[in-house]
Structure formats: C-alpha cells, structure tokens
C-alpha cells in the first residue's frame, strides 16, 4: 500500500537553531501534502498546504517565515522550523494524497521536536 515516510522521527535541537523535517511519498506522486501540528493529548491542527512547484498555503495564524515549506518534487515536501524556540516543541505530522481526485490520504509517522 501507499506509504508516506517522515524523517526524522525525533529531533532535539537548541534554541535558535533551525530544524528540517522531511515528508516523502514512497510509491506515489503527491502533488499536495499537508503539515499538521499536534500538542500532547490534543488535536491535530493544519498548518499549511504544500503544493508541488508553487508556494505553500498557510493557515491563519501560522507564521510562514517561521515554518518554511518547500515542495520541490512530486515525492518530497520539507518543513523547516527556523530559529526554533521551546514553544515550537511539538509533534509534527505530514499527510499526502495522490493526484487523482478522491484518492485516499496517507499520513507519515510524525516527528517529535524538542527545543531545549
């Protein structure tokens, strides 16, 4: 079945540094990917929609300069948390869909980011 690989699964970084998270579709081409953020025991909140070859669309309240999204190929989207601070510590999950309308959605395994 279709698989979305997210890397790394865990990352610890120091305050002020940047962290890149990768979301890769392994056996299908994902023209659109989505990035969500989840705090412990809370819901998933959509951060942005990543479109191959064009700028990402950010949800209201999400700082686009803080959370840089790049979708340079049909199989890879990256989320870079720039100048990370402890409040950016969270669980980040990506999802992807294949090109045909009504195709199922596939989630990555998530990345736990801890900023010290």
Partner 1 sequence: AQTVTQSQPEMSVQEAETVTLSCTYDTSESNYYLFWYKQPPSRQMILVIRQEAYKQQNATENRFSVNFQKAAKSFSLKISDSQLGDTAMYFCAFMRAGGTSYGKLTFGQGTILTVHP
Residues that bind partner 1 (CB under 8 A): 32, 34, 36, 41-46, 49, 91, 93, 95-97, 101-102, 104-105, 107, 109-110, 112
User: CB of 8: closest distance to partner 1 in angstroms?
Assistant: 14
User: CB of 89: closest distance to partner 1 in angstroms?
Assistant: 15
Q: Which is nearer to partner 1, 32 or 82 (CB)?
A: 32
**Residue 90 near residue 81 (C-beta atoms within 8 A):** no
Q: Which is nearer to partner 1, 14 or 41 (CB)?
A: 41
Q: Which is nearer to partner 1, 19 or 33 (CB)?
A: 33
């Amino acid at each position: 079945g279709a698989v979305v690989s997210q890397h790394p699964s865990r990352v610890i970084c120091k305050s002020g540094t940047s962290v890149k998270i990768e979301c890769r579709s392994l056996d299908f081409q994902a023209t659109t990917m989505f990035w969500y953020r989840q705090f412990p025991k809370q819901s998933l909140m959509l951060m942005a929609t990543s479109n191959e070859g064009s700028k990402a669309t950010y949800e209201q309240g999400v700082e686009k300069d803080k959370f840089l999204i790049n979708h340079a190929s049909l199989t890879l989207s990256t989320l870079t948390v720039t100048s990370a601070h402890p409040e950016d510590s969270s669980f980040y999950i990506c999802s992807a869909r294949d090109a045909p309308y009504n195709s199922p959605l596939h989630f990555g395994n998530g990345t736990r980011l801890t900023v010290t």
